[in-house]
Structure 1
Amino acid sequence: MRKLSVLVLLFLILILTTNFTLPTEKAYHPSIEGTWELINRYNYDGVNVTDTLTPATGFSQIKMFYNGKVMWTRYTPNQSVEWFGYGTYETTDSTLTERLEYMSASMRRIANEHMEWRMELQLDRNRYTQISLDEDGGRIASENYRRID
């Protein structure tokens, strides 16, 4: 009986001194890969949102990100101007960089020399925002998207 008591006591000490840790759930890291639809735009005063612009009825802007490639298109009813582009992209936790390889003539007219756009990125599971910045890092405008696939 004494041996059994000693064994039980040792077993309890072992249990009490063991550091039990529950398996931790792997932190979710959202991915920009997928298909996104523009829901609205914001204008900024450098820091704060000053205006929200919602798309007109029938307007559609879709972006697709997959395996380092980006493609986007914009449809504006009652306009003959085409807007589309295709290229590569890179993301960090806070930036999105797009380098277009080809684009519509209307886009080419407003494109910068390197056809590269570096934007602030805010990304979660089903929404993302790309924010255009000025030379000093102040916010100019954003496009706000929701995941559709």
Structure 2
Amino acid sequence: MKSNSLILCMLLLFTFSCKNEPKSDVENSKTETALNENNKSLKGTWELTGFYNYKDNVVVDSFDTSSSSRQLKMYTDTKVMWCKHRPADSSEWFGYGTYKYDGDRLTEVLDFGSRVMNQVIAEKKQFTFELTLQQNSFQQIELDEEGNRIYSENYVRVE
């Protein structure tokens, strides 16, 4: 009888100790990241890896970034910030603002930036690019007034 009671108590203890816990923040974050990657989201941190030059909308030249400089872009749900590190250049390079994209067009509206960028922003706040977005890379392509491709900045996902 004692052994039956002991087995029953152990079974009950085991049953109640196996309750479902909500997913941890880490698990939720991993799930969200996976969903964003499947949806080809811009949300995250990206590093510039190279450029393409176009002629007649065809890539005619490509080159990688210099090992002496880095450029990063960070996107949240609605905000964008980019910064460029160029040790040989004493001027600062960064910009901050909002963005939106509709699948093939990326529009960034900069609110402010570094001293050099504020001069650019005074003349032009809105920048529109053709966007080619993959899960872990994207190209933002500058277009001329007629809609022809001029050059692209090519990025890979860092986080």
Interval containing the TM-score (normalised by the shorter chain): 0.7 to 0.9
- Paired position in structure 2 for 1:7: none
d(CA) in 2 for partners of 1:132, 1:45: 12
TM-superposed deviation, 1:54: 1.5
Partner deviation per Cα, 1:92-131 (whole Å, 9 max, x = no partner): 1101000000011212333473410010000011001100
d(CA) in 2 for partners of 1:59, 1:114: 25
Name the % identity.
42
Aligned residue type for 2:102:
T
For 2:152, which of 134, 139, 142 is the aligned residue? Answer: 142
Aligned residue pairs: how many?
123
Q: Quick check: 2:112–2:121 contact (8 Å CA) kept in 1?
A: no
d(CA) in 2 for partners of 1:67, 1:102: 18
Superposition pairs of residues 1-149 of structure 1, within 5 angstroms = 28-111=38-121, 113-149=123-159
Aligned residue type for 1:89:
Y
Unaligned runs of 5+ in 2: 1-34
d(CA) in 1 for partners of 2:115, 2:52: 25
d(CA) in 1 for partners of 2:91, 2:123: 21
Q: Secondary structure at the match of 1:80?
A: coil
Question: Residues 111 and 51 of structure 1: is their aligned pair in 2 closer, same or farther, counting only changes over 3 Å?
Answer: farther
d(CA) in 1 for partners of 2:155, 2:53: 15
Aligned residue type for 2:58:
N
Normalized against structure 1, the TM-score is what?
A: 0.77
Unaligned runs of 5+ in 1: 1-25
Q: Which has the larger helix fraction? A: 2
